[in-house]
Every structure is written in C-alpha cells, then in structure tokens.
Structure 1
Amino acid sequence: MAQAMKIAIVDDEQDMRQSISQWLALSGYDTETFSSAEEALKVLGPDYPGIVISDIKMPGMDGMQFLKKLMGTDSALPVIMITGHGDVPMAVEAMRVGAFDFLEKPFNPDRMSELAKRATGARRLTLDNRALRRELSDGSQIMKKLIGQSPVMERLREDILDLGQADGHVLIDGETGTGKTLVAHALHAVGSRAGKKFVLVSCAALEEEALAKRLFGPMQPEDSMLPAIEEARGGTLVLEDIDALPETLQAKLLSVINEQGTPAETRIIAISNLQEAGKTCEDALRPDLFYRLAALRITVPPLRQRGEDILTLFTRLSEQFSEEYGCDAPQVSAQEAAQLLQAPWPGNVRQLINIAERAVLQSRRGSGTIASLLMSDHEEMQPVMTTEGKPLKEYVEAFERMLIDNTMRRHKGSIASVMDELCLPRRTLNEKMAKYGLQRSDYLA
C-alpha cells in the first residue's frame, strides 16, 4: 500500500502551528508540529516520509538556515515556506535554494491544501523510486522476486547466481512478458558490480539519431546526463530490444566492446524480444556482435512451462492487489485453478499480473469469474487451454498445495486454525506440508 505521508509544521507561533495542523488534519493529513527549527531537525532526517511547512522568520535558526540544513540532508525533501507581507524577495531566494513553493501571509487554506497535495505526491514518488533502487541493488531481495519452485525457475536462479559472478557480456532472451529486465537487474545485483551504475536503454524506443546520441554522444552542453557508454563505465549497461539496434550502431557498439578488452570495463547485458515468427536475435545482429554479446546466455522460461508456479504467482499478486484496493483476495476454486494451469499465457507474467488485478476488481464487485477473464484475453481460443495435457493428479496436487499455502498465509501459520478450516488431522496436514515444501516458519507474523 502507499506509504502514509506526514506533514511537519515548523513555526514559533503556537496559534499558527495549531491552525495549520488542524486544517491539514481535516484534509486527511498526518501532522506533527515543532516550535523551532532546532527541534524539527532532531526528527527530519533523510527519507523523512513526508513534507515540511516552515515559517521563514523564527528566533534562533531562521527559515532560510533551516531550509539549507534540510537541503543538505535530503535535497529532494519538499519544503513549503511561509512568508510575511513584503518578504517575497526572501521567498524567491528560498526557491533558488531548493524550497518547493511558498505561501504569503495571510494565505488561503485551500491554496495550502493544494500545495500540500502536490508536495506529498512528489515526495511519495521520490521515496518509492529510492525504495525501488535499493531493492534492485539488493541481490537477496531481487532474487526473492523470482518466485517459483518449478525446475525451470530453480535452474534460472542457479544460472543468475553463476553468470552474475562471471564478467562476460550476457544475452537474455525469451518471450515477451517473462521478466527479462528483472533478470538483468538480478544479474547486476548478485555480481561484483552491484554497487556500481546500472544503466538501461531501450533500442526500440528512440529513432536512430537520438539512440546514437544517447548511447555514444556527443551530448550537448545543456544535456544533464552522460552518454550511456560513459554513464555505465565500471558498471552494467542493459540494452533492451537489442535486435532493434540499427546496423550502423551495431558496428559502433562492436568497436566499443573491442576497445574495452578483457575483462570488460563495462558489462553489457543485451535483451532480445523478437516476436516475428521464425526470427531470432542471431538473425537481427551482425555475427561478430552477436557472438560477443552472447558469450553468456540466459533464456527466461515462458509461464506455461512453470507448472504450479502459476498458482503461487496468482496468489501473491491477488494479495498485493487486494491490499492496494482495500478488499479481500478472491478465493480460487479447483476448477479455476485448473483453468489457470491450462491457459497458454502468451503474455506470460505480464498477462498474469493483469488477470490477477482484474480478478480482484471483479471480486470486489461480487461478479465475474477467472474463466471469463481468460476468455476475454483470448476470445479466439475455445476452450482456453494449452495443447499439452497434464495428468489429473498434477492438477489436484497443485490446487491442494495452493489451498494449504493460502490458508496458512491467512491464519499466519496457526496450525490449529488451518486444521479446523480444512478439516484435516494434524498428521495429515504435516505430511502434506512436507510433501509440498511448505514450512510453518514462513507464515508466522
């Protein structure tokens, strides 16, 4: 769920602090007040989960000094300054230093609420991006995102750990929606370059001239970033849709790779997403570049090959969406579990994410079925199932595992509650948990 935003109100006048706090509290904000900048600085550290509203004129440390301290601690913290009549030049200077905006006394409360809404929105985006960057640089955390106990996923994780420690360039291929970019992040996060730059460029998103400039430069004086080759120096450069790289730029990329020597100063991870029938990345690239990039290779498995991982993923995703939308996750019947396992999943994990979100929304409205969602995605397919049949025993076991897993998760590992709900004796439940690799410790709150 979205992180609750706070608003720190800093003003030496008690009446002003209280009136601002009461108004913003009525608007739904969580406020905390401070009578001085010195007092506030004891609380307002990096990654403070909110914004600051501060008076400019205060005894001791004034608002400008306070603002400079805050910008030195966290330059992305939104600070709204309150100025008296005639202090507009000072407010303009505050904006130059880094203030988000300013309010001139006497101010309109609705204007303050509007500024608070914009500032908290900006702060939430900053904190979410920081959290994502930390997560994507943490090898143990990102590997947890590669959910699944199927043999193909076990092999994928092993390949990532092995190739992550190597230093050669890597080609990642696989169907659309399988999570190739996540695998690229994981390769970077588990290797020796984890603390270095991770730069991602889509070769299909830019016209040839713009792509050449983004990859190799030269950049114009007004540009705020380096060419990707320079920006990623010492780290990892990920080239999505490598098969869309024009021939002229293929030659330039090959030249850069050859100049780097061995071991490569910058590791290149190329991602291939070819969808045309009968086409491969090898067909799209000049041979010498292809073999340099494909020195190491990972193929991400399609969802339809991952067996009961489909149910595990669907459960996790529906739990996340139900929390986001403030409703219960849909309960999956045995028939629906079989339909999820049988679906061909041409859109792979990306399609499953979409189905899980729509299933939660349907459940909240009290209408619709998972089968109808699958059919709406593939109206031309009657019925929606793979061409590869599976023994009934596999469907039954996959559903049984999902049911025990969901019930254990819902009861936070309470064996007695699970036994009662599923009408199972303890010995039978223990045997089934051991059979499916489920451990009570994983569910304890």
Structure 2
Amino acid sequence: MVKPMKIAIVDDERDMRQSISQWLALSGYETETFASAEDALKGLEQDYPGVVVSDIKMPGMDGMQFLKRLMAVDSALPVIMITGHGDVPMAVEAMRVGAFDFLEKPFNPDRMSELAKKATKARRLTLDNRALRRELSDGGALMKKLIGVSPAMERLKEDILDLGQADGHVLIDGETGTGKTLVAHALHAVGARASKRFVIVSCSAFEENALIERLFEPGSDGSIPAIEEARGGTLVLEDIESLSDAAQARLLQVINEQGSPAETRIVAISNLQEQGRTCEDVLRGDLFYRLAALRITVPPLRKRGEDILTLFTRLSDQFAEEYGCDAPQVSAQEAAQLLQAPWPGNVRQLINIAERAVLQNRRGSGSITSLLMADTDQIAPVMTTEGKPLKEYVEAFERMLIDNTMRRHKGSIVSVMEELCLPRRTLNEKMAKYGLQRSDYLA
C-alpha cells in the first residue's frame, strides 16, 4: 500500500503547531513538529518524503532564511508559508524564492488541507521521477527486472551485457509486449554512456514533418532536437519502421556525419507486426545496415518456459500488495495452462492476467483458467502447438510451489518443510536443483 506523505510543521508557537498537526493528521497525513527552523533543518534532507509547513516570523532563523536553506538542499521540496496579517509582500517574496504557496492568518483549515493535498501530490510525483531516474541509471537494478533463468533469457542478458559495452548502433526487435524498451534502458545503463542522457522518441506518435522537427530541428518553442538532446548518450527510436523516406534520409545523414565511434548512440526498436515482413523490408538498405550493426531479438514469452510461472508469481504478489489482499494460489492444472498458452501479447498480456487474477481472488470467485479462456476468446484453454515432456511441466510446477512457499514463510525452512511435507534433505536437494537460495527469501 502507498505510504502516507509526511508533513513537517515548523512554528515557534506550541498551540499553532499542535492545532495544524491535529487537523492534518485527521486528514490522513503523518505529521512531525519542530519548534524552530534550526531543529527542522536537522531532519529535512534531500528526498524528504513529504512537504513543509512553516511560519514566516520566528525567533532565531526566520521563515525566509529557513526557506532559502531548504531550497539549497532540495529546490523541489514544497514549502507552504504561513504569514501574519499585512505580511503579503513577504509572502510574495517567499514565492519568488521557491515557496509552494502561502496562507494568511487566520486561515481556513479546509484551505490548509487543500494546499497540503496539492503539495503532497506534487512531492510524490517528484520523488517517483527521481526514483525512476535512479533506477534507469542503475544497470544492476534493470538487469534484475529481466526476470527469468530460461536459456532464452540468459542469452538475452548476455547480449545486453556484451552490446552494452560496445559503441555501435543497435536494432532491437521482437513481438509486441516482450519488453523491448526495457532492454534499451538496460543497454544504456550497463554501458559507458550510463551517466549521459537517455532520450526516447516514438516515431509513430508524430506526423512526418513534426517528427523530423522533433528529431533534427530546433522547435518553434525553442526546444532542442532529440539528436542534440541525446548528444553523448543514447537516442532510442521506437517504431523505427514508421520513419518516412525523408526522415530516413536525414537520420542516415546524421549517422554518417557522426562517424565512428558515434557521438550519439542510436538504439532502434522495431515493432513491425505485419505477417511476412521485417524491418529490413521497410527501411532503406543503407540505413538498416547501419542501425543493425548490432542486433538483439527479445524472446517471446511462450519460449521462456518456467519463467512464465516465476513472472506470474512475482506480478500477482505485487498486485496483491497493491490491492491489500492475498495472491491467488496456482493449481497444477492452471500452472500447466499458463505454460501452454500461446501468449500473443507476451509479458504485457501476462501482467493483465495477473492483475485480474488478484482482483478475482479478492472477490472470492473465478479462476486463472477462466481468465485464460476469456483472454483468448476460446471455449477451452488455449494450448501452444509446441508440446513439452510431462517431466518439464512437473518440474516447473514444483519449482513454483517451493518458490511461493518460501516467499510466504520468508525463508523459514522448517515452515516450508511442514507445509510441503518434505524432509530437509529432499527440500535442500530440490532447492539446489532449481537454483533457489534461502537468502533470497529472508525478510
């Protein structure tokens, strides 16, 4: 569940601190109070998970000095200033310095709640964006998002690590919903350009002239073109097959002018879904071979074997936490159906199934089988044409069962032995066989 945002209340008047704190606590916020700006500064660091409400007139360090110090620590921290009657010019100055807004005494408590709601929403967005930027610059974190131990996924991870260290342009292809943009992020994050800009442009989202302007020409609003914005870093072009002839010519010209090593690395993503056609068929040959100097094909979900069950478990656990309920238990029959489904929508489709399975489980009705049937418009569970030996289905289910039980008991071997009725030696052997480590489950 989402944690409530904090609100730090700074005021030298005890009664005022308490009344604001009580009101905001009733509105669902977690509050902390400080009698002086000096005390507050000790606990308000960059990425403080909340906002600040501060009086302007205080002994020692006043509100304006306090605000300037806060802006030096974190310029995006929302600070709501409280002013006395006649201090509006000072409040306007506070807004110029960086205050989020101000309240004039005596103020309406509902107005305080309204401002707190806006400020905490803005703060959450800022912190989420910062966390995302950190995550997207952390190659290790991104590689962990590529869940799975199937041969297809191991090859993909090896390709990312190898090509991430190279400097040539890259073409990423694969079916829709396989995670090609995540692979592009990982390529950038594990390479020498990780600290440089990472810019994504969807070629299918623009008309021809607008796309050429976005990529190569300064915008009418003064914005810089993407090729300049990504200079020294990585420019990702999604839906590369949507480039017009004119845009292809401009892109080829830029690539040729940059020489080798490329000043800006281009990662092209192809989402071509037309039967019997490839990216090579729709791009001019000289551009295709420049972009496809290095190439990664992201495997479809149906080729990833027991990774399907691992992914389903992780996703359903995440959705169960989000919705505040239990994740559904997967039966042996349902596990086999998950493994055999053709997954035309790949990981994106699996995400949808996992979320709906959690919502069904919360209501106490439905099954994973019914979801697979409804999702594929069939009257019976859909099966792939690629049969697998029974032994593979049994092992995949067994691994999932041990994995789920270890997660539920947070790595308690005794609890897992009791629930699965397994002697310790057998459990240890099976965990070793499936690459499961107890340390991964400890809380």
Please state which band the TM-score falls in when normalised by the shorter chain.
over 0.9
Q: Which runs of 5+ in 1 are unaligned?
A: none
User: C-alpha distance in 1, partners of 2:74/2:240?
Assistant: 37
What secondary structure sits across from 1:323 in the alignment? helix
> What residue is the counterpart of 1:162 in the other structure?
162
Query: Is 2:7–2:51's contact at 8 Å kept on the other side of the alignment?
Result: yes
Match of 1:354 among 349, 352, 355: 352
> What residue is the counterpart of 1:405 in the other structure?
403
Q: Which runs of 5+ in 2 are unaligned?
A: none
User: C-alpha distance in 1, partners of 2:286/2:414?
Assistant: 63
What's the CA shift for 1:97?
A: 2.1
User: C-alpha distance in 1, partners of 2:366/2:75?
Assistant: 48
> What residue is the counterpart of 2:339 in the other structure?
341
Work out whether 1:387 is the aligned partner of 2:385.
Answer: yes
What secondary structure sits across from 1:42 in the alignment? helix
Which aligned pairs between 1:1-20 and structure 2 lie closer than 5 A? 1-20=1-20
Aligned residue identity for 1:6: K
Aligned residue identity for 2:389: P
Worse-matched range after superposition: 252-261 or 69-78: 69-78
Worse-matched range after superposition: 138-147 or 279-288: 279-288
> What residue is the counterpart of 2:363 in the other structure?
365
Query: Is 1:85–1:104's contact at 8 Å kept on the other side of the alignment?
Result: yes
Query: Is 2:4–2:28's contact at 8 Å kept on the other side of the alignment?
Result: no
Which aligned pairs between 1:402-441 and structure 2 lie closer than 5 A? 402-441=400-439
Alignment deviations for residues 90-109 of structure 1 (CA, whole Å, 9 cap, x no partner): 22222222221111111111
User: C-alpha distance in 2, partners of 1:3/1:238?
Assistant: 34
User: C-alpha distance in 2, partners of 1:9/1:114?
Assistant: 16
User: C-alpha distance in 2, partners of 1:77/1:207?
Assistant: 38
What's the CA shift for 1:3?
A: 3.9
Alignment deviations for residues 400-443 of structure 1 (CA, whole Å, 9 cap, x no partner): 00000110111111111111000011111111111111121221
Which aligned pairs between 1:139-288 and structure 2 lie closer than 5 A? 139-220=139-220, 222-223=221-222, 225-288=223-286
What's the CA shift for 1:152?
A: 0.2
Alignment deviations for residues 284-326 of structure 1 (CA, whole Å, 9 cap, x no partner): 2111111100000000000000000000000001111111111
User: C-alpha distance in 2, partners of 1:203/1:131?
Assistant: 27
What secondary structure sits across from 1:85 in the alignment? coil
User: C-alpha distance in 2, partners of 1:263/1:240?
Assistant: 22
What's the CA shift for 1:66?
A: 1.6
What secondary structure sits across from 1:164 in the alignment? helix
Aligned-residue RMSD, C-alpha: 1.2
Aligned residue identity for 1:258: N
User: C-alpha distance in 1, partners of 2:127/2:347?
Assistant: 26
Query: Is 1:339–1:385's contact at 8 Å kept on the other side of the alignment?
Result: yes
What's the CA shift for 1:2?
A: 2.6
Alignment deviations for residues 7-53 of structure 1 (CA, whole Å, 9 cap, x no partner): 00111111111100011111111111111212111111110000011
User: C-alpha distance in 1, partners of 2:249/2:400?
Assistant: 50
Aligned residue identity for 1:405: D
Query: Is 1:4–1:49's contact at 8 Å kept on the other side of the alignment?
Result: no
Work out whether 1:299 is the aligned partner of 2:297.
Answer: yes
User: C-alpha distance in 1, partners of 2:14/2:381?
Assistant: 69
Query: Is 1:56–1:82's contact at 8 Å kept on the other side of the alignment?
Result: yes
Worse-matched range after superposition: 67-76 or 88-97: 88-97
User: C-alpha distance in 2, partners of 1:291/1:61?
Assistant: 64
User: C-alpha distance in 1, partners of 2:378/2:75?
Assistant: 53
Aligned residue identity for 1:438: L
Match of 1:323 among 310, 321, 328: 321
Aligned residue identity for 1:216: F
Query: Is 2:82–2:103's contact at 8 Å kept on the other side of the alignment?
Result: yes
What secondary structure sits across from 2:232 in the alignment? coil
What's the CA shift for 1:380?
A: 4.2
User: C-alpha distance in 2, partners of 1:240/1:185?
Assistant: 12
Query: Is 1:3–1:124's contact at 8 Å kept on the other side of the alignment?
Result: no
Which aligned pairs between 1:81-100 and structure 2 lie closer than 5 A? 81-100=81-100
Worse-matched range after superposition: 151-160 or 131-140: 131-140
What's the CA shift for 1:140?
A: 0.9
What secondary structure sits across from 1:24 in the alignment? helix
Aligned residue identity for 1:302: P
The TM-score, its normalising length taken from structure 1, stands at 0.97
> What residue is the counterpart of 1:114 in the other structure?
114
User: C-alpha distance in 1, partners of 2:402/2:369?
Assistant: 22
Aligned length: 443
What's the CA shift for 1:112?
A: 0.8
Query: Is 2:337–2:381's contact at 8 Å kept on the other side of the alignment?
Result: no
What secondary structure sits across from 2:403 in the alignment? helix
What secondary structure sits across from 1:201 in the alignment? strand
Worse-matched range after superposition: 3-12 or 48-57: 3-12
Query: Is 1:57–1:63's contact at 8 Å kept on the other side of the alignment?
Result: yes
> What residue is the counterpart of 2:123 in the other structure?
123
Aligned residue identity for 1:408: M
The TM-score, its normalising length taken from structure 2, stands at 0.98
User: C-alpha distance in 1, partners of 2:30/2:441?
Assistant: 31
What's the CA shift for 1:396?
A: 1.0
What's the CA shift for 1:382?
A: 4.0
